[in-house]
Structure 1
Amino acid sequence: MREGSLDAPTRHPLDWQNPDFYDLEKIDAELRRVFDICHGCRRCFNLCDSFPRLFDLIDASPTGELDEVKSADFKPVVDACTLCDLCYMTKCPYVPPHEFNLDFPHLMLRYRAAERKAGHKDAIGDQLSQTDRNGKLAGLAAPVVNWASARGNGLTRGLMEAVADVHHDAVLPEFHGKTFVARAKADPAPANAAAPGAGKRKAAIYATCFVNYNSPDIGVAAQKILAHNGVSLRVDYPGCCGMPRLEQGDLDDVAARAKTVAAFYAPLIDQGYDIIALVPSCALMMKFEWPLILPDDPLIKKLAQATFDISEYIVDIAKKDGLAPGLKPLDGGVTLHLACHARAQNMGNKAVDLLKLIPGYDKGGDLAVIERCSGHGGSWGVRKDFFEVGMKVGKPVARTAVKENKAHIASECPLAAIHIRQGMEREGKDKDGFILPARADHPVELFARAYGLL
């Protein structure tokens, strides 16, 4: 058996409609096969908390081997996985086409799906992952919801921790009464006819649940940048991509969402529209996860081939059409975090390429790049049992950002950006000369400011 493979990683479709997929004995056998290989390798010891938990279990056993670890003790290892995909994409030498055929994140997903099928659901996780329902309801009373969820609110955050399992100290995203889709309809941002590539591109911006309900400014920034560069635009939101439901192992729900969104965009793709996702997790779902869940669906394949991450798309415009003039240097340096789900798209570091289009960053000046997990992991990172774990996993990122001490902190993942900034607040509180950035940004927000569009 060879160590590692020279071939590019590939992934097998999820056989989730086969009853064997949910067979607990077969899952346990596969867990033991994979965990034993991981035990002999340990290359992923510092990626997340799943691997230290696994290795601690094995090291504490009487023989120091997996055979003495009880299967019931595997659950904390599974619970600590955030499905970031970094072990699969960046570390593991044994992923397909290697004969060991390891796919650690999808095995964790299979375990959760089987738990769910057996009736062992995470009731609170189920509620937190209902993003469309939560976003619509919270938007009806956004000021009150934001007051109640504000960190430091002694009247409400203790109650939220007791009832909703949300850690009292976790910074939570705000909600907005006017969604990104509503803002886009009110201000459609017509294409700039003088842009170098004007008339060459049509794009449909997929608002995503987070941008639509929690961070419309990201969408507005993307909308203005693309319109300024001559792209004919529309903004749509046919529903959540299902990543929060994937984390819960609800594959039936994810498949239904995938079909709905793919059917919505199919006619637009036929009309020549590119589909732009504003959050890396959503782009990853559309490009890679949905085709593995529904490999025989032609509309899913069509959408995957037409989907771009927002940073990827702007960089593509710059390379193929040329950018519209007007970019000016930003005031202050940037610490840029590369989101795990952007890295897992295997498209290169497009956020770095994007910011290097801004004068002053073109040769890397005053631009620091961090290529490591932030530790947030979606709703996982705000849960009572995992918040401090997530802060620990993200501590190296926060420490590096504090050391860089730039004017701006940015990440392609909005939740990661918030989490990193909170980590910076902790790590930098006693550091002389450290100034906490006023806000956490998406790279496209910085790019729009460099254009003077925000």
Structure 2
Amino acid sequence: MREGSLDAPVRHPLDWTDPGFYDMGKIEAEMERVFDICHGCRRCFNLCDSFPILFDLIDESETGELDSVDTGDYKKVADACTLCDMCFMVSCPYVPPHEFDLDFPHLMLRFRAAEQKLGKGEAGLAAELTKTDRNGKLGALLPILANWAIKVDNGMTRPLMERIADIHRDAWLPGFAGTTFEERARGDGIEVNRNAPAAGRKVALYASCYVNFNNPGTGTATRQVLAKNGVETQVVYPECCGMPQFEQGQVETVAKKAERIAGELEGWIDQGYDIVALTSSCALMLKFEWPLLLPENEAVKKLARATFDVTEYVVDIAGKEGLTEGLTPLDGGVALHIACHARAQNMGMKARDMMQLIPDADIKMLPRCSGHGGTWGIRSAYFEKAMKVGKPVMRDALKAEKTYVSSECPLAGLHIRQGMDRLAKDKPDGPQPTGEPARHPIELFAKAYGFDLGR
């Protein structure tokens, strides 16, 4: 038996239709097997809170081994997992095809799915956080009121949100736009440069719930950059990809979403359109997670093959046709966070590659996890842990003293900016944030082309 694997990681389909998938006895037995391997390795000790919790449970047990850890405490390990996939994609030497066949994130997902079946999953208003389309539509109806209510200095609403919806009162939350990206795209007047090197390409932009309802500026910037490079774009947004529900273990709900969305996007693919996702989490779902949920669904497989992350797509144009001239340097440089769900796509650091296409690129790389983890990072029990996990990134971003902070994950960017503010307040004589909000890399790329940054 060899120690570790030199082969590329592969993942098994999730057999969520088998009743045994939800058998808690079988799950705990598999957790015992996996946790014992993790205990003997400990390579992931610094990735997230799951592993320190596991190792502390073992080290503080009667025997100092897993055999004296109560299986009831396994939930503590599972609850701390953000499904960032970094242990699987980057650190673990025992992922398949290694014979140990270890997939820690999907085991934690299976545990949560079983809890959902047993009625022990998220309930009440806390579970309503995952309904991003419904929440986005409500926020878009009354954005002034909604944005007032979510401000951290609102002493009336934030304690109430913490008590009822389990949202930590100090966590920064994304604001709502008055008009959706779909609505803005219909009247933005962006014209395609038919003389550009990439003229003839066609893209259906899968907007994502975040871009559609919270930050249409990312979508507008994408349309501007692609149009300048000759690419026709259409905005297509059937519904949320289901990542928030996936994080909670609602695999059947996500599978149904995948069927519906893949069925609608298939028509665009058949017309010669590439599919470009505007957030890294959505791209990960379309490319990798949906095919593991529905491995026999031809529309899902076709969609996975046709999908690009937005930064990946711009780099693809640069490599194959070349970009339209006109990029100019960004004054003050960029502290660039590489999101975990971008790294999990196994495509390389495309945000870095794209930003390096800008003349005189001044980039400080921030490759570690932000700690946010979707809805996990704003929950009352986990917000401070999320801040702790993300502190190295926040500290490096502040020390870099760049004009811009950028992340492919909008929630990670918001989280990093909040952490930078916290650190700066603790050391008022040290580096201070510039006041610029965190931006998606495509927004800064659009600025380098001379387009105005908007929200």
Under TM normalisation by the shorter chain, which class is it? over 0.9
Alpha-carbon shift at residue 188 of structure 1 (Å): 5.1
Match of 2:400 in 1: 404
Partner of 2:374: 378
Matched position secondary structure for 2:345: coil
Structure 1 residue 193 corresponds to structure 2 residue 194: yes
Alignment of 1:222-261 (within 5 A): 222-261=222-261
Please give the alpha-carbon distance, in whole angstroms, between the structure 1 residues aligned to 2:308 and 2:190: 20
**1:442 aligned onto 2:443:** no
Say if 2:3 is the partner of 1:3: yes
- TM-score relative to the length of structure 1: 0.98
- In 2, are the aligned partners of 1:27 and 1:111 still within 8 Å (CA)? yes
Question: Pairwise mapping of residues 204-353 of structure 1 onto structure 2 (< 5 A)?
Answer: 204-353=204-353
How big is the shift at 1:177?
2.0
Q: Give the corresponding residue for 2:365.
A: 369
Q: Which amino acid aligns with 1:163?
A: I
Write out per-residue CA displacement over residues 193-214 of structure 1, whole angstroms, 9 at most, x where no aligned residue: 1212212x10000010010001
2 CA distance for matches of 1:138 and 1:431?
A: 35
Instruction: Give the superposed CA RMSD.
Output: 0.9
Identity across matched positions, percent: 62
The letter of the residue matching 1:404 is A
Q: Is the 8 A contact 1:246 1:254 kept in 2?
A: yes
Match of 1:421 in 2: 417
Distance 1:24 1:155 in 2: 41
Q: Contact 1:376–1:416 at 8 Å: present in 2 too?
A: yes
SS at match of 2:380: coil
Q: CA deviation at 1:51?
A: 0.3
In the TM superposition, 1:21-170 aligns within 5 A as: 21-123=21-123, 124-170=125-171
Q: Distance in 1 between matches of 2:104 and 2:428?
A: 39
The structure 1 segments of at least 4 consecutive aligned residues displaced by more than 4 Å after TM superposition are: none
Is contact 2:59–2:65 with CA below 8 Å preserved after alignment? Answer: yes
TM-superposed deviation, 1:433: 5.2
Q: Which moved more, 1:158-167 or 1:42-51?
A: 158-167
Give the match's secondary structure for 1:282.
Answer: helix
**3-state SS of 2:233 partner:** strand
Deviation at 1:39, TM superposition (A): 0.4
Query: What letter is aligned with 2:379?
Result: R
Give the Cα–Cα distance (whole angstroms) in 1 for the partners of residues 160 and 198 of structure 2. Answer: 53
Q: Secondary structure at the match of 1:394?
A: helix
Q: What SS is found at the alignment partner of 2:269?
A: helix
Q: SS of the residue aligned with 2:94?
A: coil
CA distance in 2, matches of 1:158, 1:126: 18
Q: Which stretch has the larger CA shift, 92-101 or 146-155? A: 146-155
Contact 2:276 2:309 in 1 (8 A): yes
Q: Assess if the C-alpha contact under 8 Å between 2:197 and 2:230 holds in 1.
A: yes
Task: Give, in whole Å, the separation in 2 of the partners of 1:403 and 1:435.
Answer: 9
Aligned-partner SS, 2:308: strand
Identify the range of structure 1 (179-188 vs 443-452) with the bigger mean alpha-carbon deviation: 179-188
Give the secondary structure class of the aligned counterpart of 1:441.
coil
1:288–1:304 Cα contact (<8 Å) kept: yes
Instruction: Give the residue type in structure 2 aligned to 1:78.
Output: A
Which structure 1 segments of 5+ residues have no match? none
Comparing 181-190 with 168-177, greater Cα deviation is found at 181-190
The 1-side partners of 2:389 and 2:290 are apart by: 28
8 Å contact kept, 1:222–1:444: yes
Deviation at 1:176, TM superposition (A): 1.2
Q: Quick check: 2:424–2:430 contact (8 Å CA) kept in 1?
A: no
Task: Give a deviation string over 1:217-242, Cα, whole Å, max 9, x none.
Answer: 11110111001110011011010000
Aligned partners of 2:61, 2:10: CA distance in 1, in Å?
34
Query: Distance in 1 between the 2:437 and 2:139 partners?
Result: 22
Amino acid at match of 1:445: E
* Superposed displacement of residue 435, structure 1: 2.7
Cα contact 2:198–2:229 (8 A) shared by 1: yes
- Does structure 2 retain, via aligned residues, the 8 Å contact 1:190–1:233? no
Within the alignment, does 1:354 sit opposite 2:354 as a pair?
A: yes
CA distance in 2, matches of 1:23, 1:175: 40
1:119 counterpart SS class: coil
Distance (whole Å) between structure 2 residues aligned to residue 96 and residue 391 of structure 1: 32
SS in 2 for 1:416: helix
CA distance in structure 2 between the aligned counterparts of 1:54 and 1:121, rounded to whole angstroms: 21
Report the Cα distance in structure 1 between the residues aligned to 2:245 and 2:72, rounded to whole angstroms: 24
Q: Give ranges in structure 2 of 5+ residues lacking alignment.
A: none
Task: Give secondary structure in 2 for the equivalent of 1:204.
Answer: strand
SS of the aligned residue for 2:396 comes to: helix
Q: Give distance in 1, aligned partners of 2:15 and 2:236.
A: 31
